[in-house]
Chains A and B, each alone.
Chain A
Amino acid sequence: EVQLVESGGGVVQPGGSLRLSCAASGFVFDDYAMSWVRQAPGKGLEWVSSINWNGHNTDYVDSVKGRFTISRDNAKNSLYLQMNSLRAEDTAFYYCAKDTGSYFSDWFDPWGQGTLVTVSS
C-alpha cells in the first residue's frame, strides 16, 4: 500500500522559514515524480511545486518562485519543501502527492494526509 506521511508544519512568523518533509513507502520512490499541493483552510486546491524522479527538474507556481525549494532524497524515500520568506497567504494545509510517472505531467495519486502551515505574528 502506498503511504505518504508529511511532517514539519507549524506556526511561523511572517518572513520566517519552515521545512516540510514527506516520507514515502509502498512503491519504488525513485521511479516517480512527486509534488506538493496546498489548500488554504476552507478553500480550494493549488499546485505548488513538482520534482522529477532524479531531482534534476523542478517547477513552481509563480507565487512561490524564489522563496520555496523542492528537493528529494531517493536513498531515504523522502520529499522536502523548504519554505523561506513566508507570507500570511502561504497559510494552508500542504499535501505531498505522488505523480503517475517519472516526470511531472499528469495527476496526483495518492495524497498524504497533509500538514498545516500557519504564518502569523
Chain B
Amino acid sequence: EIVLTQSPGTLSLSPGERATLSCRASRSVSSNFLVWYQQKPGQAPRLLIHGSSNRARGIPDRFSGSGSGTDFTLTISRLEPEDFAVYYCQQYGSSPRTFGQGTKVEIK
C-alpha cells in the first residue's frame, strides 16, 4: 500500500499568514489522484481539493493544491480564523485508499 507522510505534524501560525502543508507518498501516486480534507474538532472531514489541485465546490480560493508523483502541497494563502484545523491528504490512485496522519494548523 502507499504510505502518505504529512509534515509538519503541527504548524503554528497567526491569522493572515501563509500555510504550506506537505504530503509525501512512499511511491508515485498515479494520475495525481490525491485529495485534501479539513477536519475541525467534533466534525467530520470536509473535502477541500481533489485531483491534486482542483478545489471542491464552495471552497475559498485561498486554498490551493499542487504537486505530482510523490510530493504534494496544500497552501492556504492567508489564514482565516476558521482555517485552524487538522488537514489530511488521501490517495486514491491505488488500493487500498490511504490517508496521511494529518497536519494540525494551530493559532500561534
Q: Using a CB–CB distance below 8 Å, which chain A residues touch chain B?
A: 44-47, 59, 61, 95, 105-114
Cβ-defined partner of A108 (8 Å) among B47, B95, B96:
B47
How far, in Å, is A3 (CB) from chain B's closest CB? 12
For A61, what are the chain B residues with a Cβ–Cβ distance below 8 Å? Answer: 96
The segment from B18-26, B60-68, B70-78, B97-105 found at the interface with A is B97-105
How far, in Å, is A81 (CB) from chain B's closest CB? 16
- Contact of B101 with A107 in the complex, beta carbons under 8 Å: no
For A44, what are the chain B residues with a Cβ–Cβ distance below 8 Å? Answer: 88, 99-102
The number of inter-chain residue pairs (CB within 8 angstroms) is: 46
- Contact of A45 with B56 in the complex, beta carbons under 8 Å: no
Q: Please, how many residues of chain B have a CB less than 8 angstroms from a CB on the other chain? A: 21
- Contact of A113 with B56 in the complex, beta carbons under 8 Å: no
How far, in Å, is B5 (CB) from chain A's closest CB? 12
How far, in Å, is A11 (CB) from chain B's closest CB? 20
Interface status of B90 (Cβ within 8 A of chain A): yes
Say what secondary structure dominates the interface of chain B. Answer: loop
How far, in Å, is B65 (CB) from chain A's closest CB? 12
For A111, what are the chain B residues with a Cβ–Cβ distance below 8 Å? Answer: 44-46
- Given contacts A105-B92, A106-B92, A107-B35, are A47 and B44 in contact (CB under 8 A)? no
Give per-residue flags for B35-47: 1 if the beta carbon is below 8 A from chain A beta carbons, else 0.
1010000011111
- Contact of A107 with B44 in the complex, beta carbons under 8 Å: no
For B88, what are the chain A residues with a Cβ–Cβ distance below 8 Å? Answer: 44-45
- Contact of B47 with A107 in the complex, beta carbons under 8 Å: yes
For A108, what are the chain B residues with a Cβ–Cβ distance below 8 Å? Answer: 45, 47, 90
Interface status of B55 (Cβ within 8 A of chain A): no
